[in-house]
């Protein structure tokens, strides 16, 4: 889970405990008769789960941060659609609020990119490495303590206090799962490039984006609903796209090819469901494609001109060059991503154009 806590802002609460009912805090919005968007928002935490009700069964895209968190969400979905015939679970990637509730869908086929199994290993290490587990449990106990302490200060701000109460229930359940451990269920159906799921009245086109935000990021396009579930590719509005430590030149070229294909005239997209914000319009996609194109061009030009990495980083700020995106507040998640992207693209271009080797000494 990507959680950036601003402890200064945290306000607290009562002792919402494990007995509290999560139901009222879970939002379910129907985007159409067949599609719903579900999330359990908190102060600085929202992860979208997309539900698709097809002729061949229910499909869920992403499964939250742990089984105890997924369970009330699943219940709400089943009550809304009056059915329980889960047929596919799709994980957009392996960060933990996207793939940690898989175990609750024993009858469904879990689907993901072929790198997903490897990407999930950290979830298993967190459970089996005692030091790591203790650090994580301590971290969330601290978060819970700070939330409880903050709650009374927000008595005059009911919407904010409600978010704190939501977080208290969420993290209380989460830490129970961390302490007791839960089964990490890998995908049974994987693919490398793209894969289509035929659901009778709907088709889901699963597309590997390339190694960027993670090594297993996929997008899901549903043409009959004009819907694109973008996972972390459009993370939220204004969030800079990513070029990761695992990205190579072929990945950056893949980002561009995938986005070009999705932006073709024949592809009809009305709703983009990002990983972590309200739905966005198609108009958020061209700036992402243009970002990767311009970054490639500008970093390559800077290298050719003999600029240093430092000089290039100072030149290619979001404010100066990419006004469609904004830096998050300092030290919150993603605040240093533009600097990281320049550094990674610099490394990628260096890999692709290794410095000339000195000629071997003449005998």
Contacts to Zn ion by CB under 5 A = 95, 232
- Which residue(s) pair with 280 in the sheet? 272
Give least dist CB 181 to Zn ion, A: 22
Q: Identify which of residues 3 and 338 has a Cβ nearer to Zn ion in the complex.
A: 3
Give least dist CB 94 to Zn ion, A: 8
Between CA 215 and CA 118 the distance in angstroms is: 9
Q: Identify which of residues 155 and 278 has a Cβ nearer to Zn ion in the complex.
A: 278
Per this entry, what is the length of the chain?
363
Residues with Cβ within 8 Å of residue 272, at least 6 apart in sequence: 228, 230, 234, 279, 280, 281, 282, 284, 285
Report the residue closest to Zn ion, judged by CB.
95
Give least dist CB 59 to Zn ion, A: 20
Residue 246 near residue 285 (C-beta atoms within 8 A): no
Smallest CA-to-CA distance from 38 within 82, 5, 71 is with 71
Give least dist CB 272 to Zn ion, A: 16
DSSP summary character for residue 242: -
Residue 60 near residue 220 (C-beta atoms within 8 A): no
Q: Identify which of residues 95 and 271 has a Cβ nearer to Zn ion in the complex.
A: 95
Long-range contacts of 134-143 (CB under 8 A, 24+ apart): 136/178, 137/175, 137/178, 137/179, 140/171, 140/174, 140/175, 140/178, 141/175, 143/5, 143/167, 143/171
Q: Identify which of residues 95 and 113 has a Cβ nearer to Zn ion in the complex.
A: 95
Chain CA centroid to CA 274, Å: 8
Q: Identify which of residues 53 and 240 has a Cβ nearer to Zn ion in the complex.
A: 240
Q: Identify which of residues 2 and 267 has a Cβ nearer to Zn ion in the complex.
A: 2
Give least dist CB 305 to Zn ion, A: 35
Give least dist CB 36 to Zn ion, A: 21
Burial (0-12, 13-18, 19+ Cβ within 10 Å), 144: buried
Left if phi > 0, otherwise alpha if psi is -120 to 50, otherwise beta: which for 64? left
Give least dist CB 6 to Zn ion, A: 20
**Token code pair at residue 163:** 């978010």
Q: Identify which of residues 1 and 103 has a Cβ nearer to Zn ion in the complex.
A: 1
């Amino acid at each position: 889970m990507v959680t950036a806590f601003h402890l200064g802002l945290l306000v607290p609460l009562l002792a919402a405990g494990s007995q509290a009912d999560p139901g009222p805090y879970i939002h379910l919005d129907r985007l159409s008769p067949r599609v719903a968007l579900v999330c359990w928002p908190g102060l600085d935490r929202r992860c979208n789960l997309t539900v698709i009700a097809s002729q061949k069964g229910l499909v869920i895209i992403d499964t939250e941060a742990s089984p105890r968190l997924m369970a009330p969400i699943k219940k709400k979905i089943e009550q809304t659609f009056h059915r329980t015939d889960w047929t596919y679970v799709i994980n957009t990637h392996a960060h933990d609020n996207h793939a940690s509730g898989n175990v609750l869908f024993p009858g469904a086929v879990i689907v993901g990119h072929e790198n997903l199994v490897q990407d999930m290993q950290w979830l298993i290490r967190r459970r089996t490495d005692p030091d790591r587990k203790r650090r994580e449990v301590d971290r969330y106990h601290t978060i819970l303590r700070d939330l409880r302490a903050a709650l009374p200060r927000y008595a005059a701000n009911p919407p904010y206090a409600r978010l704190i109460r939501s977080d208290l229930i969420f993290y209380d359940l989460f830490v129970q799962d961390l302490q007791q451990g839960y089964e990490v269920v890998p995908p049974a159906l994987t693919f490398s490039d793209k894969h289509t799921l035929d659901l009778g009245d709907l088709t889901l086109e699963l597309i590997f984006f390339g190694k960027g935000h993670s090594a297993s990021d996929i997008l899901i396009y549903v043409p009959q609903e004009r819907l694109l579930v973008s996972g972390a590719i459009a993370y939220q509005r204004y969030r800079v796209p990513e070029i990761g430590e695992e990205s190579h030149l072929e990945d950056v070229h893949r980002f561009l090819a995938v986005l070009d294909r999705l932006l073709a005239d024949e592809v009809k997209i009305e709703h983009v469901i990002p990983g972590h914000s309200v739905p966005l319009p198609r108009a958020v996609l061209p700036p992402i494609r243009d970002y990767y194109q311009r970054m490639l061009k500008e970093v390559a030009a800077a290298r050719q001109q003999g600029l240093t990495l430092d000089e290039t980083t100072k030149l290619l700020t979001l404010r100066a060059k990419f006004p469609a995106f904004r830096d998050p507040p300092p030290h919150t998640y993603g605040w240093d991503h533009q600097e990281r992207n320049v550094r990674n693209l610099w490394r990628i271009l260096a890999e692709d154009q290794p410095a000339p080797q000195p000629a071997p000494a003449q005998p």
